């Protein structure tokens, strides 16, 4: 039995109601009472407050039967907007969602500088532009979440970004100095894991999201919660040493997993082995489509290195769901079958491995979603079935 004061109980009831409306999309007061177990008086009072605050609204459904048309409650998607930013090495992704979790705007900006002050200025200018665009809504651009491809401490400061060689940067403070408020800084892999849970695997409480891109990072969800470690640096699995005294890494060690299993590692392997020019994963995709045996062997050898890290991670975390995010895995039809050949340890145990459907937008979409959860003050969020990705950006 939960015991607490009136304010605490009211907040719990509000969360139950909002979570159900987010999940069901449209629901009547009567069904809301059945789903939550709250009485009609509590439902009526809470719904009245949520309507007053412009978080939900009422609609009457069309139907051909006799009697009154049912009145349904829905999230008021236009009342607030959320900006997610993925700060990668060569480009920045900007994604805006409404309160319902639908993507309403997406932009990719190429970067031609790695100077910290210049990028901070660019971010501040872009965020200000988005604030202006959505200024007419009730709550405007309510939250901004920035995903970092590096270690982020629990106080939201950037500890280290290997690609930029940035250390001890307080991006949040520097943006605030330029008038940008309501900013949250998080590791990109954590945001990607959060996105997978919120949009696709809501029932999975033990989920690992592994991103194989310019580097390798993991978002770890245990018992439904993101696990960040002692000071927020958990999940830097790309710097797990898999080949002692192997290739040097920008982190300072040798033989790191990402030096063998990241996308640049695969492309570098392909350039040295294949007789044709390989500059991107799209070049490899063309060869795979033509069933080029040498290209397929290069990918299979790369997958063998991917599996080394996967074996270690599975044995450490015993995950229910493993989501792999990589453009190569999306176009190579036998990727999961090839990985399975190497995951043969008698002590390894997991439920399922899947390839991410969010692709390169996972982090930026997760950034928007975590903004919604923080703004609404919800303990958990489900946005299953929302328009979180568009066809044009599916293969980023």
Please give the Cα distance from 225 to 146 (Å, whole number). 19
Please give the Cα distance from 313 to 355 (Å, whole number). 17
Q: pLDDT for 283-335, tens place per residue?
A: 999 998 999 899 999 999 999 999 999 999 999 999 999 999 998 998 998 89
Least confident of 34-48, 51-65, 187-201: 51-65
The sheet carrying 321-325 orders its strands as: 225-226, 216-222, 207-212, 321-325, 352-355
Q: Are strands 141-148 and 183-187 parallel, antiparallel or unpaired?
A: parallel
Domains of the chain: 6-75 (1.10.10.10), 78-193+361-393 (3.30.420.40), 203-356 (3.30.420.40)
233 in Cβ contact with 159 (< 8 Å): yes
Please give the Cα distance from 177 to 316 (Å, whole number). 42
Q: Which of 194, 154, 170 is nearest to 371 (CA)?
A: 194
**Beta-carbon neighbour count of residue 110 at 10 Å?**
7
3 state SS of 133 = helix
**Token reading at 83:** 């900006």
Q: Are strands 71-75 and 81-87 parallel, antiparallel or unpaired?
A: unpaired
- pTM (two decimals): 0.89
Q: pLDDT for 58-72, tens place per residue?
A: 987 766 555 567 789
The band of 1, judged by pLDDT with boundaries at 50, 70 and 90, is very low
- Stretch 345-372: mean pLDDT: 90
Please give the Cα distance from 30 to 198 (Å, whole number). 26
φ, ψ for residue 225, nearest 5 deg: -120, 145
Tokens 């015993």 belong to residue? 318
């Amino acid at each position: 039995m939960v015991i607490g004061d009136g304010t605490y109980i009211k907040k719990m009831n509000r969360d139950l109601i909002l979570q159900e409306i987010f999940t069901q999309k449209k629901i009547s007061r009567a069904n809301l009472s059945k789903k939550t177990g709250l009485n009609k008086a509590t439902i009526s009072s809470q719904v009245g407050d949520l309507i007053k605050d412009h978080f939900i609204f009422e609609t009457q459904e069309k139907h051909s039967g006799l009697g009154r048309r049912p009145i349904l409650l829905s999230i008021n998607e236009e009342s607030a907007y959320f900006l997610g930013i993925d700060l990668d090495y060569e480009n920045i992704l900007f994604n805006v969602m409404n309160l319902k979790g639908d993507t309403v705007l997406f932009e990719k900006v190429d970067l031609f500088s790695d100077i910290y002050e210049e990028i901070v200025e660019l971010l501040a200018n872009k965020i200000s532009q988005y604030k202006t665009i959505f200024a007419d809504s009730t709550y405007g651009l309510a939250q901004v979440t920035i995903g970092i491809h590096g270690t982020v401490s629990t106080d939201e400061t950037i500890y280290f970004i290997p690609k930029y060689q940035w250390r001890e940067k307080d991006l949040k403070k520097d943006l605030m100095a330029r008038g940008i408020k309501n900013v949250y800084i998080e590791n990109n892999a954590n945001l990607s894991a959060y996105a997978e849970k919120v949009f696709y695997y809501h029932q999975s409480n033990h989920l690992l999201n592994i991103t194989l891109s310019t580097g390798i990072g993991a978002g770890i969800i245990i018992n439904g919660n993101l696990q960040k470690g002692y000071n927020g640096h958990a999940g830097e699995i790309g710097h797990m040493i898999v080949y002692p005294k192997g290739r040097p890494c920008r982190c300072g060690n040798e033989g790191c997993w990402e030096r063998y299993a990241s996308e640049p590692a695969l492309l570098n392997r392909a350039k040295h082995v294949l007789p044709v020019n390989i500059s991107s994963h799209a070049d490899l995709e063309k060869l795979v489509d033509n069933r080029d045996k040498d290209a397929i062997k290069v990918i299979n050898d790369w997958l063998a290195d991917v599996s080394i890290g996967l074996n270690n991670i599975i044995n450490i975390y015993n995950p229910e769901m493993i989501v792999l995010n990589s453009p190569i895995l999306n176009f190579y039809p036998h990727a999961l079958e090839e990985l399975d050949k190497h995951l043969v340890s008698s002590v390894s145990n997991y439920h399922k491995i899947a390839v991410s459907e969010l692709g390169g937008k996972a982090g930026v979409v997760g950034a928007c979603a975590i903004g919604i959860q923080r703004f609404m003050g919800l303990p958990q969020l489900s946005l299953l079935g929302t328009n979180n990705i568009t066809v044009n950006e599916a293969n980023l």
